[in-house]
Every structure is written in C-alpha cells, then in structure tokens.
Amino acid sequence: MLRRHVQFITSKTPRVTIISIIRQKSSGGRRPKKKTYPRVPALDRVMELRKKPSLILELKSLIQSQPKNLPLFLRDLEKNVGFVRKWDFMALIEKHPTIFRVTGAPPFISLTDKAQRVAHEEAQARVLMEPLLVTNLRKLLMLCVDCRLPLETVEFVGPELGLPSDFKECLIENYPQFFSVRRFNGRDCVYLEDWDSTLAVTARETRLVQEGVVNMKPDEDKRKVKISRDGNYAGPFAFKVNFPAGFRPNVNFLEQFERWQKLDFPSPYLNARRFDAADPKTRKRAVAVIHELLSLTMERRMTSAQLDAFHAECYLPSQLLLCLIKHHGIFYLTNKGVRSTVFLKDAYVGSTLIDKFPLLQFNDKFVALCGRGSIDLCESKSSLQAVA
C-alpha cells in the first residue's frame, strides 16, 4: 500500500536516506518489511567528484569576470564568496599552483600562463554550444503545455542546460524567430515563436532509431520476446533500464514490467491536456517527459527542486518522488551534495557521462591542469585515492 504522505525532496530536506514507504501485506502477525531505496555508489561518487572541479571553475570565472580587466585582489575575495567559503578558495589556490598564482602588492589572484592559454579555448566551446543551446531551449518550450516558461524558471535551470548568465541578451534577443519574452499573469515568460515538428523527437526515440528498434517490422514486434532479468526489452515503447546491484526481481515483477515496457504511450511533445491523467498510457508518458527533461541538460541530471519547477508547465505527476522511486531502473535519486539530485541512469556508464557537450569537454581540459586528469576517471579505488 502506498503511503501518500511522502513529500518531494527540496533543498531544505534533511540529508537522510531515501526510503520508499512501500510495505508488503503482513501475515501471521509479523511486522511488514520496509524496502530500502537501493543506492548506486558510482552515481553518488559523481557528486563527490564534482566538488573540487566546481570550485576551480567558479574561481576561474570570478577572475575573468572582474570589471575593466582589474585583477581579483586577495582582500576582495571575501566580498565575492563570503567569509566561510573564502578559506576553501584559499586552500584551493595553495594546492593548485599550476592553475592559480598570487602575485603583486597588494596581492592579487590570477591564472598561470598555461591556464590562460587553455582558458582562451572556452570561447570556441561557447560558439560550438550555441546551436545546441538554441535547439534544446526550443525543445524545452515544446514540452510545455502552452509552449512558454516563466523567465525565472529558465534562469533557475539555466546552469544545468548550459545557458550563459546573459542568455536573455545573447540567445533570446538574437533569435527572435524562435523566442520572445512577454508578460503573463504578472510574470515575464519565454515564449516559443515557431513550432518545428522535426524537433519533436525524444532522446529515447533517437537511441532506438540508432539501434534499429523503431524500424522493426510488424511481424518482428509481435513475436514473443522474453524479457531479460535486467528488465530491458527490444521494443519501440521500451525504456533502457539499469537496475542497481543487489536488486533481484521475481518472476511476477518481470511479467508486470514486461507489460509496462510494451505499453504504447503518446509522445511527450503532444499537449498533455489531451490525455486523462489516470490512464496508464498517460502515466507512462509522464515518465517519458521526465526522461526528456533530463536529456536536455548538459550532465543529464537536475536537482529535485529544478525538476519540480516544471510541475505545472509539463503536467508532471503529483506524486513525483514516488514516480522517481518506482522507476529506479530509469532514474536515480541521490542526497549526496548540498541538494538532492535526479540522474538519468542510461546516460552514464559507472561514474562516466557517455556523451559530453563541448563546454563540458572544455571544463574537463581546464580542470585537468591540476593533475587530476579527467574528473570522470573514478572507477577504481586507486583513482579515488589519486583524487583525494
């Protein structure tokens, strides 16, 4: 029996283990068993390994963003990052002399010559990113029932999408044929100006086309294909799943999951108002919407609060946390880090992101100057020790 009192995790939620309150019927007077949410250490490790690179990239941006090309004086560091975080950055500067240096009187922070040469490559990465960002922002608006999003929502999820801080000027205003900003209910909203049906293809469908599954003949689709114990099924409406280690589904679960994998459902790019929320096909479509939202992000993950921001615009399930927990073969929730985060599991192999945007490739190259190599090389204990 589902216990409806589970609240969706936000940034204010205490860091506790996520527990699915799904209880089995008790029999013989025994207490019902509590099922613990299965952990995926490799994805938890992603959050741990992102801490130091995030600080390095933040300090780089802080140095480069000083007005009128003025240096970042050491005495001004506290004004920019606060008293507590100042000491984290001081330790970072001391630990990585290959990237940062302190010189002059009064002392100021700057990039080393080698770091400056690599930092100049960011402009080229931004150029390569622009068409991807325009396409993904159009697709994001197409997922919304009215093809609009509050500007504050776009700003909230912008870092995950890879949008620059000045995206309103450099993207929205530069592409008036695609976007506009207008007032609606007292708020500035980003509107989609041009619907392109060629973009209404999900990342899941693209993968199936590459694998030749969508082009299966009708006779092939009707054949009895026994579902494997890992839950994966070769069909045009199936999701790629990756159950955590230790999860041992029984025959009844696999039979039910096979029926769910075969169930057809409407495209996430169709208007959600057309469908009954209680219909099983609509509920499966909601899973596809969440999958597509995460696919549009650079690292195929969002914080729980960012995902929750699309509740009204994308008609996400009212019990969103329970939906994510139920489909733990597709999504993964972690409380590692400052905020709880939702991962798209099929985008990762272990702790490594499979397909990286140009900006992520540049970030990896810059962070590698500290001698860590790639931030994703964390599949063994020896590499973890090298990172520490």
Inside any domain, residue 172: yes
Distances (CA, A) of 305 to 9, 11, 28, 221, 302: 7, 7, 42, 39, 8
Range of the domain at 162: 124-197
Inside any domain, residue 270: no
Quick one: which of 233, 163, 245, 161 has its CA closest to 204? 233
Tens of pLDDT along the chain (388 residues)? 434 444 444 444 444 444 444 444 444 456 655 667 888 999 999 998 888 899 999 999 999 988 877 889 988 898 888 888 899 999 999 999 999 999 988 899 999 999 999 999 999 999 999 999 999 999 999 999 999 999 999 999 999 999 998 999 989 999 999 999 999 999 999 999 999 999 999 999 999 988 877 655 544 544 455 556 777 888 899 999 998 887 888 888 888 999 999 999 999 999 999 999 899 999 999 999 999 999 999 999 999 999 999 999 999 998 999 999 999 999 999 998 778 999 999 999 999 999 999 999 999 999 999 875 444 433 333 332 332 3
Inside any domain, residue 218: no
Our count of domains for the chain comes to 1
Inside any domain, residue 145: yes
Inside any domain, residue 284: no
Q: What CATH number corresponds to the domain at position 146?
A: 1.10.10
Q: Is the pTM of this model over 0.75?
A: yes
Inside any domain, residue 212: no
Inside any domain, residue 182: yes
Give residue 174's identity as a one-letter amino acid code: N
